[in-house]
């Protein structure tokens, strides 16, 4: 694809969203959008939730991302026009394309794909060189090792090699844990950076059995933090892994470890870093999710900046949150390699004087791929990916996943499950990773795997009563819309095929879901049994991997013959800026 320099120039080009500063128009060179004005004496580069996407991707941001209670109308719960207005982004610009769902298909043709590790490498090296390597560090917020068929097959080893070449100095984790303790430890032996997690502890049984831990006294399994010297100042980076790993995923992957937000332990650790280690800045590298981080920032003192991930929110500016000790800035840096966050700090003795933050879209057409990284990616992919290159279907519409309740990718998966497994109803997890495919462009097994590649892909068919189905919907819905973010796990609503329902997100748990109906319009009865197909169960299942089921369905050529779409009718959220108008 040719570089459409003119399109980028016509766009506002300025991606800088310096805290409190107006967005500035940039110079004539398209690539100059990556010329960041020098500020302060230390630069922290942050990637997160890349989901192992080695090559540039299309990824449409959500048009439905509802916030309830205090979270209503507050970043990250703004979409489309409301988002553009809040952050002062022009609707037809490259930024609008990168950060929102506005006119996605039209803009995809103009601005092309984003991300890719060879492109990221070029940008990261350049931004490091701009300030001098001694003044910069690169950290990753996790979900680095999962999201593709390749990463799943290699249990994340491909991404460890990529991370080493990229120069990641510290990371934390989420899906990394789903490869199990042994694979995780094997990978970490090859990882040149540090894997940090202040909130992962041995269970009492594991501690009693003398299982390995970074600190036997506290039971902490991993190193909680590192201190890096930048420009003669000491910067502490604390890792916060996804707090709900054994709940969101099968417990069998992490039987010896217990997680949680662990506010109290975090506060103690921050206090020790400040009091004993005399650090000048404390950064939390977090996989909590943005709403959890926003709450945590009001309760834990002494953290300067939370570099956040998990909820895949591309938020151009940090959100300042007040707490008893001062102000903590909270960020979230998007997903799939689309963005690189740049945090410039003016460090002083014992404090951060001021900061500038930029969330830079990684426009692959403006960046020359780094040759060494491109070669490594080619080498890693070649032996494995060839088998998945056959074109198996051509979608007649845009396929995307992200939205709170439904998306064409999951409608397709649900239809495949129902058809292939002969079930009335299908349930599919509301993951936020998974790529976007443009209408009319053929898709391959590699694309199917990019929507489904997990370590527990087995499908199932089981009988469930109407009451059980409603309970599942209520339970997952509370994960999204509990007014206390500490009770949310992140992710989106479980997708339903063959089933429509009404949802009132602002109601309380147990009273949000109503009017459940089958596709034929018949009401779901609480006591009647229904045949339900699904995958990604936290309980062990025996069925074929979901990618085989979806692949078989696509190969049959029936792709969109059936009507797709489970109707979810929303109630009580009219005018919520988390819904595109």
The β-bridge relationship of strands 319-323 and 305-308 is unpaired
Using CB under 8 A as the binding rule, whether residue 432 contacts other proteins is answered as yes
Least separation in angstroms between CB 166 and other proteins = 22
Contact 75/294 with Cβ under 8 angstroms? no
Nearer to other proteins, 236 or 315 (CB): 315
Q: Which of 99, 158, 478, 578 binds other proteins (CB under 8 A)?
A: 478
Residue 271's H or E segment, with its range, is helix 263-275
Tracing tokens 């068919």 back to the chain, one arrives at 461
CA nearest to 430, candidates 131, 64, 109: 64
Nearer to other proteins, 8 or 433 (CB): 433
Least separation in angstroms between CB 247 and other proteins = 5
Nearer to other proteins, 93 or 240 (CB): 240
Using CB under 8 A as the binding rule, whether residue 47 contacts other proteins is answered as no
Nearer to other proteins, 272 or 509 (CB): 509
Q: How many CA atoms lie within 13 A of 456 on its CB side?
A: 22
Using CB under 8 A as the binding rule, whether residue 560 contacts other proteins is answered as no
Using CB under 8 A as the binding rule, whether residue 169 contacts other proteins is answered as no
CA–CA separation, 294 and 327 (whole Å): 11
Per-residue burial over 320-347, b = 16 or more CB atoms within 10 Å of its CB, e = otherwise: ebeeeeeebbbbbbbbbbbbbbbbbbbb
CA–CA separation, 136 and 127 (whole Å): 9
Q: Which of 73, 301, 465, 486 binds other proteins (CB under 8 A)?
A: 486
Least separation in angstroms between CB 512 and other proteins = 14
Using CB under 8 A as the binding rule, whether residue 311 contacts other proteins is answered as yes
| Straight-line distance from the first to the last Cα atom of the chain, in angstroms, rounded to the nearest whole number | 32
Using CB under 8 A as the binding rule, whether residue 61 contacts other proteins is answered as no
Using CB under 8 A as the binding rule, whether residue 471 contacts other proteins is answered as yes
To the nearest 10°, the Cα dihedral for 48, 51, 52, 53? -100
Counting every residue, how long is the chain?
581
Least separation in angstroms between CB 345 and other proteins = 28
Using CB under 8 A as the binding rule, whether residue 426 contacts other proteins is answered as no
Q: Which of 39, 175, 405, 547 binds other proteins (CB under 8 A)?
A: 175
Using CB under 8 A as the binding rule, whether residue 77 contacts other proteins is answered as no
Nearer to other proteins, 121 or 312 (CB): 312
Least separation in angstroms between CB 536 and other proteins = 7
- Using the contact rule CB under 8 A, the part of the chain among 100-108, 210-218, 406-414, 530-538 near other proteins is 530-538
Least separation in angstroms between CB 430 and other proteins = 5
Dihedral sign of CA atoms 218, 222, 432, 409 in order? negative
Nearer to other proteins, 40 or 76 (CB): 76
CA–CA separation, 342 and 35 (whole Å): 12
- Using the contact rule CB under 8 A, the part of the chain among 21-29, 86-94, 113-121, 470-478 near other proteins is 470-478
Q: Per-residue string for binding with other proteins, 233-262, x by CB under 8 A?
A: ---------x-x-xxxx-x------xxxx-
CA nearest to 332, candidates 310, 308, 297, 296: 308
Using CB under 8 A as the binding rule, whether residue 143 contacts other proteins is answered as yes
Contact 550/487 with Cβ under 8 angstroms? no
Tokens of 141: 């917020």
Tokens of 543: 């069925």
Using CB under 8 A as the binding rule, whether residue 487 contacts other proteins is answered as yes
Alpha helices for 462-545 (secondary structure H): 466-481
The β-bridge relationship of strands 136-140 and 42-47 is parallel
Least separation in angstroms between CB 488 and other proteins = 9
Using CB under 8 A as the binding rule, whether residue 475 contacts other proteins is answered as yes
Calculate the alpha carbon distances from 9 to 93, 457, 487 in Å: 9, 44, 44
Least separation in angstroms between CB 310 and other proteins = 5
Using CB under 8 A as the binding rule, whether residue 198 contacts other proteins is answered as no
CA nearest to 519, candidates 397, 404, 415, 398: 415
Count of residues that interact with other proteins, criterion CB under 8 A: 44
CA nearest to 360, candidates 373, 383, 387, 341: 341
Nearer to other proteins, 193 or 430 (CB): 430
DSSP-derived 3-state class of residue 285: strand
Nearer to other proteins, 21 or 247 (CB): 247
Q: At what angle do helices 445-452 and 408-421 cross, to 10 degrees?
A: 100
Q: Per-residue string for binding with other proteins, 103-142, x by CB under 8 A?
A: ----------------------------------------
Binding site for other proteins (CB under 8 A): 49, 143, 174-175, 204, 242, 244, 246-249, 251, 258-261, 264, 289, 310-312, 429-433, 471-472, 475-476, 478-479, 484, 486-487, 489-492, 494, 509, 536-538
């Amino acid at each position: 694809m040719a570089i459409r320099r003119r399109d980028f120039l016509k766009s506002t080009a300025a991606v800088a969203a310096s805290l409190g500063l107006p967005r500035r128009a940039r110079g004539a060179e398209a690539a100059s959008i990556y010329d960041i004005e020098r500020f302060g004496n230390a630069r922290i580069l942050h990637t997160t939730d890349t989901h192992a996407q080695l090559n540039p991707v299309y990824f449409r941001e959500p048009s439905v991302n509802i916030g309830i209670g205090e979270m209503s109308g507050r970043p990250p719960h703004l979409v489309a026009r409301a988002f553009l207005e809040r952050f002062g982004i022009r609707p037809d610009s490259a930024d609008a394309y990168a950060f929102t769902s506005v006119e996605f298909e039209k803009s995809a043709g103009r601005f092309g794909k984003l991300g890719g590790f060879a492109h990221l490498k070029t940008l990261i090296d350049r931004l490091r060189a701009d300030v001098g390597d001694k003044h910069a560090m690169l950290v990753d917020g996790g979900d680095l090792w999962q999201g593709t068929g390749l990463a799943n097959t290699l249990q994340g080893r491909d991404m460890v090699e990529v991370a080493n070449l990229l120069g990641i100095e510290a990371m934390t984790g989420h899906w990394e844990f789903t490869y199990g303790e042994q694979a995780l430890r094997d990978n970490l032996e090859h990882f040149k950076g540090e894997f940090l997690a202040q909130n992962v502890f041995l269970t009492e049984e594991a501690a009693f059995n003398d299982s390995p831990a970074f600190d036997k006294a506290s039971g902490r399994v991993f190193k909680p933090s590192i201190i890096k010297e930048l420009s003669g100042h000491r910067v502490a980076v604390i890792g916060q892994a996804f707090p709900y790993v054994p709940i969101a995923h099968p417990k069998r992957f992490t039987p010896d470890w217990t997680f949680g937000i662990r506010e109290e332990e975090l506060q103690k650790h921050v206090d020790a870093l400040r009091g004993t280690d005399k650090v000048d800045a404390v950064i939390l590298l977090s996989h909590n999710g943005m709403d959890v981080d926003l709450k945590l920032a009001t309760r834990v003192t002494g953290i300067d900046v939370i570099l956040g991930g998990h909820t895949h929110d591309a938020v151009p500016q940090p959100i300042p949150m007040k707490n008893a000790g001062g102000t903590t800035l909270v960020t979230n840096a998007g997903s799939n390699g689309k963005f690189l966050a740049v945090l410039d700090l003016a460090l002083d003795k014992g404090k951060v004087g001021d900061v500038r933050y930029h969330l830079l879209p990684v426009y692959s057409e403006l960046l020359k791929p780094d040759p060494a990284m491109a070669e490594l990616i080619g080498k890693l992919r070649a032996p494995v990916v060839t088998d998945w290159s056959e074109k198996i279907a051509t979608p007649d519409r845009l396929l995307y996943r992200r939205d709170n309740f439904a998306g064409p990718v999951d409608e397709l998966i649900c239809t495949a499950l129902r058809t292939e497994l002969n079930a009335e109803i299908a349930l599919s997890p509301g993951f936020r990773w998974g790529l976007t495919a443009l209408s009319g462009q053929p898709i391959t097994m590699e694309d199917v795997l990019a929507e489904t590649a997990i370590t527990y892909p087995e499908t199932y068919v089981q009988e469930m009563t109407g009451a059980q189905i409603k309970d599942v919907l209520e339970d997952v819905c509370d994960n999204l819309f509990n007014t206390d973010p500490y009770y949310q796990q992140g992710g989106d609503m479980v997708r339903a095929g063959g089933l429509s329902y009404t949802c009132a997100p602002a109601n309380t748990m147990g009273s949000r879901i109503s009017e459940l109906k089958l596709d034929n319009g018949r009401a779901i009865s609480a006591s009647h049994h229904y045949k339900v197909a699904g995958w990604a169960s936290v309980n062990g299942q025996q069925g074929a991997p979901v990618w085989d089921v979806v692949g078989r369905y696509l190969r049959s050529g029936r792709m969109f013959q059936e009507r797709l779409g489970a109707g979810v009718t929303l109630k009580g959220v009219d005018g919520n800026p988390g819904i595109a108008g």
